[in-house]
Amino acid sequence: MNTPSRLGLILVIGVVVVVLLLIVVQGSDYKPALTGMSSTADTPAVSGTRSTLGVTSTSLPATPIALATDTIARPTSAPTIAPASESTMTAEERKVMEDVKSINAQSEATSPDQCSAILQTQPWCSITDSAKRITRPEWEKLFPRTQFFLVSYTLIGRETRLARHVLVIEQNGQRYKAETFDQLLAVNQLVITEQNRELVAKAFALMTLADYLEQEIDFTDWQAGKWQGHYTYDHYLKAWTKIQGIEFWWWFKFENEQLRVVTRDGVSDYHLGNYSDVPLQTLPLPPLAEYLFAPR
């Protein structure tokens, strides 16, 4: 082969090598674009969440969820009555708690595991948590010899979990409740007069609010008049509860220095004011309640 031909062949080979090198270099530059799922531009920023692969980017705040198998959400502010543990309860408080447990002994448990077994045959299971002696100014004035105990318990169903309370009223070994308020008045030799009528109404109203006694209850209105409903009422009382911010109404009928009828309306206004947010799944709104007392 002559010299010009050799030079031409060398030039052609050189051009081919350069082109191949350019293709290899450019191909490596396009790799990220071809694998776009791992590209930074295509990956969403993760902040404060957990990835679907189970890798934690940042820690999540603990949020209570009211489920049948989870933690009950509690009030956002501290209760005015600290719940008592069994180790701090007095002998009287422990006795009251045991008495409440015995009311439905077949449905009483000491742990969620026991409740699971009970729920196989019963619609509800209860775990009684504590009993605490409490007082209110209205009770102290009217019933200085009467003891009041607030018992806390958890009521568990197959799909629900409720935080509830019951008020135990005791004097001289006898038990009373809102439904036997007239008997409590009688044993304390109390006659209803114009001077103590409002105090009597407030003392009774508090007895119907066991689930709300752990926090503030403010009476906001008291009026005399005449209102026609299921009965003819002559007084009404209004109150606001810190728990759930509920406005309660009670309608009273007094007759011959005695309390004859009380109707507590169903709740229409709630989440009012600076309230403690207890979820309605944990503490449902109470229904209308009616109390009738026979003449003495």
Sequence ranges of the domains in the chain: 91-292
Q: How far apart are CA 111 and CA 168, in angstroms?
A: 23
Beta bridge partners of 156: 125, 161
Query: What was the pLDDT predicted at 13?
Result: 53
The residues, any chain, with a CB within 8 Å of residue 232's CB and separated by 6 or more, are 226, 253
Backbone phi, then psi, for 242, in 5-degree steps?
A: -60, -40
For the entire predicted model, the pTM comes to 0.71
Backbone phi, then psi, for 239, in 5-degree steps?
A: -150, 155
SS3 293: coil
| CA-based torsion, 239, 211, 182, 251: positive or negative | positive
Q: How far apart are CA 263 and CA 201, in angstroms?
A: 12
* H-helix segments, 60-180: 91-103, 112-118, 137-142
Distance (Å) of CA 281 to CA 123, 151, 160, 211, 262: 17, 20, 8, 14, 28
Q: How far apart are CA 241 and CA 286, in angstroms?
A: 13
Distance (Å) of CA 246 to CA 204, 240, 269: 18, 6, 6
The residues, any chain, with a CB within 8 Å of residue 271's CB and separated by 6 or more, are 244, 245, 277
Query: What was the pLDDT predicted at 296?
Result: 83
Query: What was the pLDDT predicted at 266?
Result: 95
Query: What was the pLDDT predicted at 64?
Result: 29
Query: What was the pLDDT predicted at 54?
Result: 27
Q: What is the pLDDT along the chain (296 residues), one digit of tens a residue?
A: 554 455 454 444 554 444 444 433 344 333 233 223 333 333 233 222 222 222 222 222 222 222 222 222 333 333 334 445 566 899 999 999 999 999 999 999 999 899 999 999 999 999 999 999 999 999 999 999 999 999 999 999 989 999 999 999 999 999 999 999 999 999 999 999 999 999 999 999 999 999 999 999 999 999 999 999 989 999 999 999 999 999 999 999 999 999 999 999 999 999 999 999 999 999 999 999 999 999 98
* Residue in 92, 96, 73, 75 with CA at minimum distance from that of residue 214: 75
Strands of the sheet containing 258-264, edge to edge, are 217-228, 232-241, 247-255, 258-264, 289-292
Q: Give how far the C-alpha of residue 246 lies from the chain's centroid of Cα atoms, to the nearest Å.
A: 14
Beta bridge partners of 263: 251, 290
Q: How far apart are CA 270 and CA 241, in angstroms?
A: 9
Query: What was the pLDDT predicted at 132?
Result: 97
Structure tokens at 277: 């947010």
Query: What was the pLDDT predicted at 84?
Result: 52
Backbone phi, then psi, for 148, in 5-degree steps?
A: -120, 130
